[in-house]
């Protein structure tokens, strides 16, 4: 356990959080959708990937769940490059997309904050579902034995480095995709909706459709983040997805880094996760996890009041003809 392996572990978590932060940036940063139930998509993505790839329950281990997809063991999915891993991620993304479609379809026609209330409700419902339905995911005992990327090919002490590569690759791919999406005319409509919904509607844009697409895309990215998380910690229990570490911290990350800016979203994830994990080594009041809890809330309020754009702020985008 030296500095380098600690740094690798840190970077993996920060990278996974950066994925969530990117997803939230589509919701809030670009479109102005107020999602306070990130934990719901987090849990859904993580559990979907885990359940599809984990071995079926072992009666000797007193496991209560009934279904394990066992993708990591099925040969035809292997193809030599651990394709199952990416199929699991895709499945997690699809699951979150479907839930987002349902929630968005009901609430996005209504005033903005109904979405917030609905996401809050869905997060709690998802948590309660995985807690109470032991047959689905082993209830509060949690799912363990979640397979590793590349299985036993990598020795445990080197797994973090390999996995860090996977997380960063996914993060970079998502960053490029989101960047392109938000720079495109489609992204411009989202920003128009955020700034003035009525004006966007008046210029002939179907505001509901665009909002729904943005909500689904953000949720899909969150599902990917959840799947990455599942194969990193390789243990999931409903308590993993408490609002603090699965919703609030991600909000602080986006707000600090700069909402509306994808680079800011990633920077914020690394910065806030650095503050969160770093301060626990400081003496005094910082040792108290509750103080850090308080700090996250205070951070959000301070950013809104003092520097609403966060560290990086949103890039100003103007048509070429308007410049100068």
Partner 1 sequence: MSTLQNISTRIRRKWAPGHTIVLIVILAVAAGFLPFVKMGLVVNGVFLASIIALGAIGLTLIYGILDFANVAHGDYMTMGAYVALFIVAGVIAAIGAESQGLGPFTFGYPLLIAIPLTAAIVALGAIALDAVIYRRLRNWRVNTAVVSMASLGVAIALRGLVQIIWSSDTQNYPRESRQVFHLPMDVRIPPDNIFIALVAVILAVAVYLLLTRTKMGKAMRATADNPDLALVSGIETARVIRWTWVIGAVLAAVAGILLAVFQAHLVPIMGWKFLIPLFAAVVLGGIGNPYGALAGAFIIGVTSEVSTQWINPSYKPAVAFAIMIAMLLVRPRGLFGGQG
Q: Contact residues for partner 1 (CB under 8 A)?
A: 28, 32, 34, 36, 106-107, 109-114, 116-118, 120-122, 124-125, 128-129, 131-132, 194, 243-244, 248, 251, 255, 288, 290-301, 304-305, 308
Q: Of the candidates 149, 128, 105, 170, which has an alpha carbon nearest to the alpha carbon of residue 39?
A: 128
Report the nearest approach of partner 1 to the CB of residue 205 (Å).
18
Task: Give CA–CA dist 51/136, Å, rounded.
Answer: 9
Asked whether the beta carbons of 68 and 55 are under 8 A apart, the reply is: yes
Tell me how far CA of residue 319 lies from CA of 46, 275, 282, 316, 322, in angstroms.
41, 38, 48, 10, 5
Task: Give CA–CA dist 72/137, Å, rounded.
Answer: 17
Asked whether the beta carbons of 107 and 245 are under 8 A apart, the reply is: no
Asked whether the beta carbons of 23 and 40 are under 8 A apart, the reply is: no
Report the nearest approach of partner 1 to the CB of residue 308 (Å).
8
Report the nearest approach of partner 1 to the CB of residue 298 (Å).
5
Give whichever of 83 and 304 is closer to partner 1, judged by the CB atom.
304
Report the nearest approach of partner 1 to the CB of residue 37 (Å).
10
Give whichever of 24 and 230 is closer to partner 1, judged by the CB atom.
24
Give whichever of 229 and 251 is closer to partner 1, judged by the CB atom.
251
Give whichever of 26 and 170 is closer to partner 1, judged by the CB atom.
26
Report the nearest approach of partner 1 to the CB of residue 28 (Å).
8
2 — phi, psi (to 5°)? Answer: -115, -175
Give whichever of 86 and 129 is closer to partner 1, judged by the CB atom.
129
């Amino acid at each position: 356990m030296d500095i380098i392996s600690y740094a690798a572990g840190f970077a993996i978590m920060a990278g996974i959080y950066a994925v969530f932060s990117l997803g939230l940036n589509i919701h809030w940063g670009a479109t102005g959708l107020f999602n306070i139930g990130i934990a719901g998509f987090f849990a859904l993505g993580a559990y979907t990937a885990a359940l599809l790839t984990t071995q079926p329950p072992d009666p000797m281990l007193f496991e209560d769940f009934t279904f394990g997809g066992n993708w990591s063991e099925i040969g035809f999915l292997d193809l030599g490059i651990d394709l199952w891993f990416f199929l699991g991620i895709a499945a997690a993304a699809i699951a979150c997309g479907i839930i987002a479609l349902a929630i968005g379809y009901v609430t996005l026609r209504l005033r903005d904050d109904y979405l917030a209330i609905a996401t809050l409700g869905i997060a709690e419902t998802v948590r309660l579902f995985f807690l109470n339905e032991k047959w689905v995911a082993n209830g509060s005992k949690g799912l363990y034995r979640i397979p590793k990327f590349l299985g036993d090919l990598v020795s445990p002490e080197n797994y973090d480095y390999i996995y860090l590569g996977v997380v960063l690759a996914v993060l970079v791919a998502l960053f490029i995709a989101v960047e392109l999406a938000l720079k495109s005319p489609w992204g411009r409509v989202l920003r128009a909706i955020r700034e003035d919904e009525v004006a966007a509607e008046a210029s002939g844009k179907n505001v509901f459709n665009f909002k729904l697409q943005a909500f689904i895309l953000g949720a899909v990215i969150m599902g990917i983040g959840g799947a990455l998380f599942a194969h990193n910690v390789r243990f999931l229990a409903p308590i993993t997805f408490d609002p603090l570490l699965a919703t609030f911290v991600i909000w602080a990350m986006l707000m600090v880094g700069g909402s509306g800016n994808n680079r800011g979203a990633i920077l914020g994830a690394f910065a806030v996760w650095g503050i969160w994990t770093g301060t626990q080594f400081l003496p005094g009041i910082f040792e108290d996890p509750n103080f850090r809890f308080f700090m996250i809330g205070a951070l959000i309020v301070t950013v809104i009041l003092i520097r609403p754009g966060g560290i990086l702020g949103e890039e100003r985008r103007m048509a070429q003809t308007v410049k100068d």
